[in-house]
Amino acid sequence: MAAKRFYTLSASCPDQIGIIARVAGFIAGHGGWILESSYHADAGDDDDLGSKDTGSGGRYFMRMQVKADSLPFHLAEFRERFRPLAEELSMIWRISDSAVKRRVVILVSTQEHCLYDLLARWQSRELDIEIPCVVSNHDTFKSFVEWHGIPFHHVPVPADNKPAAFAEIARLYDEVRGDTMVLARYMQILPADFCARYSGEIINIHHSFLPSFVGARPYHQAYRRGVKLIGATCHYVTADLDQGPIIEQDVIRIDHSDSIDDMVRYGKDIEKAVLARGLRYHLEDRVLVHANKTVIFR
């Protein structure tokens, strides 16, 4: 049986009295049936250890799912009708339609595990998305990707002409009308202007439990440091290397007998799971970003 179609409204605004009542009242006033709702109030940064700012710095976050056929109008009209209320509440918001599949463009280099995992989840419809293309700075996975019926684009990134390479990636992404770009172990640093252009649309998997061991070869860094936990981090990409808002993380325990190769092998399993979960949260509009932090409605 086909899943019921629904709209997902996600929003944040300055905290104030009556937000839930106003938004739920708007939906109910048009006959809307709320299927799921989540809320979070953030009172702001701590002034010190034990003193929390309860002044004007607070922010309110919400996510609602509304049964689509309970409303007397389509999504475009919902946006028009809701906009005055959103402006009155100084709200940052979006609303999406479960009937419209997100278009996810995957970028990869020469590490296969995250690419293989995402394609398996796509093929089984565990991730109900469209993958209009895969882009790589190597041609290693060309036949594998094309075997799945997905266009593959080899875009080398030469050290002496990186701007042209990323201009081509941007062109491909725009041409296929991408919604989300996933760096599935894509081992290139994205230019600042590229990150700004697609802010909030680029997701990376970093093979470390950030903020520890930023940059290249984190398992080697972890081995030298003698850590007892290693992990992986799914985060949004910003111009600051490996510093973007964190979506999902996980760890696994290791001990003194584990080699670097063991750590890499363990880490690959964590990376696949963390990337899949983080991407799912993003696609389901469960992630709200404020400053460099995230609120995740699981």
Catalytic residue status for 242: yes
**What integer is the mean pLDDT of 267-286?**
96
Is the pLDDT assigned to residue 78 strictly greater than 60? yes
Looking at residue 225, what is its pLDDT?
A: 85
Strand pairing class (104-108; 92-97): unpaired
* pLDDT tens column, 44-58: 754 433 333 434 469
Q: Is 210 or 140 the better-scoring residue by pLDDT? A: 140
Name, in order, each residue with C-beta under 8 angstroms of 131's C-beta and a sequence gap of 6 or more: 103, 104, 105, 106, 118, 119, 122, 150
**What integer is the mean pLDDT of 106-114?**
97
Residues of the chain with CATH 3.40.50.170: 104-296
Active-site residue, from 242, 250, 258, 261: 242
Helix (H) or strand (E) holding 97: strand 92-97
Q: CATH number of the domain at 6-97, out of 3.30.70.260, 3.10.129.10, 3.40.1800.10, 3.40.50.300?
A: 3.30.70.260
Is the pLDDT assigned to residue 110 strictly greater than 50? yes
* pLDDT tens column, 246-269: 999 999 998 989 898 998 898 899
Residue 151 pLDDT class (50, 70, 90 cuts): very high
Q: Which of 67-71, 187-191, 251-255 has the lowest mean pLDDT?
A: 251-255
Looking at residue 217, what is its pLDDT?
A: 82
Name, in order, each residue with C-beta under 8 angstroms of 111's C-beta and a sequence gap of 6 or more: 184, 185, 187
Q: Is 54 or 93 the better-scoring residue by pLDDT? A: 93
Rounded Cα distance, 199 and 207, in Å:
21
Q: CATH number of the domain at 104-296, out of 3.40.640.10, 3.40.50.620, 3.40.50.170, 3.30.930.10?
A: 3.40.50.170
Residues of the chain with CATH 3.30.70.260: 6-97
**What integer is the mean pLDDT of 55-64?**
82
Name, in order, each residue with C-beta under 8 angstroms of 272's C-beta and a sequence gap of 6 or more: 113, 114, 117
Q: What's this model's pTM, rounded to 2 decimal places?
A: 0.91
Residue 37 pLDDT class (50, 70, 90 cuts): very high
Looking at residue 57, what is its pLDDT?
A: 61
Q: Which of 54-63, 77-86, 182-191, 193-202 has the lowest mean pLDDT?
A: 54-63
> Rounded to whole angstroms, what are the CA distances from 262 to 210, 212, 219, 254, 265?
20, 19, 10, 9, 5
